[in-house]
């Protein structure tokens, strides 16, 4: 495949997914205006080769993931996606063939999420860098905040926890005993959760209506529950935490994986605090929206600290609360 110049690349691969205000990516800036009565919600998640993904991950999966992790932030804020900018830092070994597959995956993700490309920047770099800035909309003044939960609020999570963390572990240590003993389908399902996160965009209306606070779970459930309400304590019932059949099977083979499931990253599920009087309405609304939610515990007064109750009712402690970059 011939090599494309920066401008051919933009025109051929990226311009087809450009949205209104992008001027077909033939300008140095784009224009965006929220719809009447709406605020723009801005978020920015960068993915770095060797830190957030592997150089040989399928390019279409990487494109999906770069957009999906940003959509996950928008979802947790109750926002509906609108547009994004892409900063692409590229080492030479990511050639035109790679770029073409990447752009195809990005166009598919952009279509699926209803989020159009408005512009960005393409530069030479020593490693692959995917720096997405995403824009969503919420009714004015109603973005669901992170630290606004109150003592007494129920904590809910969407979907299942720990799949992606085990998917990464399995990828890093394919020869360890539990991986070899885990069924083929379970392995495939964990791997897929790591590679292809599914942001919970359909939950947004239920969060706007009923949640007092919310965030997406990206750095591990243990650390992220602390970030949700650093000013409060929390009691979490580990037996209530939803695990997929694959994660359950893995933990049965190697009980230490429970820690990995609860402290590893990349879940891209939503964690939210719901006032007691709204618990039932929230659960029903989520059900109607097709999003599975599970109550895993409650926010309590700060004095309690973080109490994770194990299967036997005793507190469980974690060595590393969450993934930290620094």
Q: What is the DSSP letter of 16?
A: G
Quick one: which of 81, 89, 199, 264 contacts a second copy (CB under 8 A)?
A: 89
Nearer to a second copy by C-beta: 129 or 203?
Answer: 129
- Smallest distance, Å, CB 127 to a second copy? 5
- Smallest distance, Å, CB 77 to a second copy? 5
Q: Is 56 helix (H, G, I), strand (E, B) or coil?
A: coil
Q: Which helix (H) or strand (E) holds 269?
A: strand 269-274
39 binds a second copy (CB under 8 A): yes
Q: Is 321 helix (H, G, I), strand (E, B) or coil?
A: coil
307 binds a second copy (CB under 8 A): no
Answer whether 263's CB lies under 8 Å from 221's CB.
Answer: yes
Q: How far apart, in whole angstroms, are the C-alpha atoms of residue 285 and residue 158?
A: 13
Nearer to a second copy by C-beta: 145 or 281?
Answer: 145
28 binds a second copy (CB under 8 A): yes
Nearer to a second copy by C-beta: 147 or 310?
Answer: 147
Phi and psi at residue 99, to the nearest 5°:
-60, -40
The contact pattern for a second copy, residues 40-79, with x = CB under 8 A and - = no contact, is: xxxxxxx-xxxxx--------------------xx-xx-x
Answer whether 25's CB lies under 8 Å from 10's CB.
Answer: yes
30 binds a second copy (CB under 8 A): yes
Phi and psi at residue 322, to the nearest 5°:
-160, 170
260 binds a second copy (CB under 8 A): no
Q: Is 72 helix (H, G, I), strand (E, B) or coil?
A: helix
Quick one: which of 5, 290, 303, 314 contacts a second copy (CB under 8 A)?
A: 5
Within positions 106 to 145, which residues make up the interface with a second copy, using CB under 8 A? 118-127, 129, 131, 133, 136, 138, 140, 143, 145
Q: How far apart, in whole angstroms, are the C-alpha atoms of residue 286 and residue 275?
A: 15
Nearer to a second copy by C-beta: 3 or 177?
Answer: 3
Q: How far apart, in whole angstroms, are the C-alpha atoms of residue 301 and residue 294?
A: 22
Q: How many CA atoms lie within 13 A of 124 on its CB side?
A: 2
Nearer to a second copy by C-beta: 22 or 247?
Answer: 22
Answer whether 118's CB lies under 8 Å from 42's CB.
Answer: no
232 binds a second copy (CB under 8 A): no
Answer whether 106's CB lies under 8 Å from 59's CB.
Answer: no
Stretch that binds a second copy, among 53-61, 86-94, 178-186, 250-258 (CB under 8 A): 86-94
State the residues that interact with a second copy by CB under 8 A.
3-6, 9, 23, 26-34, 38-46, 48-52, 73-74, 76-77, 79, 85, 87, 89-90, 118-127, 129, 131, 133, 136, 138, 140, 143, 145-147, 215-216, 324-326
């Amino acid at each position: 495949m011939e090599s494309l110049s920066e401008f051919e690349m933009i025109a051929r691969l990226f311009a087809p997914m450009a949205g209104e205000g992008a001027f077909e990516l033939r300008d140095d800036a784009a224009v965006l205006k929220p719809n009447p009565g709406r605020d723009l919600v801005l978020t920015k998640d960068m993915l770095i080769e060797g830190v957030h993904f592997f150089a040989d991950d399928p390019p279409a999966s990487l494109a999906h993931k770069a957009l999906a992790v940003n959509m996950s932030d928008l979802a947790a804020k109750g926002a509906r996606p609108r547009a994004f900018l892409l900063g692409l830092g590229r080492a030479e070994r990511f050639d035109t063939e790679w770029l073409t597959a990447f752009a195809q995956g990005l166009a598919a993700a952009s279509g699926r999420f209803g989020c159009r490309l408005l512009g960005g920047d393409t530069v030479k770099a020593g490693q692959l860098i995917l720096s997405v800035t995403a824009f969503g909309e919420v009714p004015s003044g109603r973005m669901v905040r992170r630290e606004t939960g109150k003592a007494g609020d129920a904590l809910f999570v969407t979907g299942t926890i720990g799949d992606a963390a085990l998917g990464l572990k399995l990828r890093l240590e394919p020869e360890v005993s539990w991986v070899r003993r885990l069924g083929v389908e379970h392995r495939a399902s964990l791997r897929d959760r790591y590679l292809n996160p599914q942001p919970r965009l359909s939950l947004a209306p239920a969060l706007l209506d009923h949640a007092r606070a919310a965030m997406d779970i990206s750095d591990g459930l243990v650390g992220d529950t602390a970030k949700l309400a650093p000013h409060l304590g929390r009691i979490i019932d580990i037996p209530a935490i939803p695990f997929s059949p694959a994660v359950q099977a893995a933990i049965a083979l190697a009980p230490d994986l429970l820690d990995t499931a609860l402290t590893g990253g990349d879940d891209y599920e939503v964690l939210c605090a719901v006032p007691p009087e709204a618990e039932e309405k929230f659960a029903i609304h989520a059900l109607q929206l097709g999003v599975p939610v599970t109550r895993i515990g409650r926010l309590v007064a700060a004095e309690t600290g973080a109490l994770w109750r194990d299967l036997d009712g005793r507190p469980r402690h974690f060595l590393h609360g969450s993934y930290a970059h620094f």
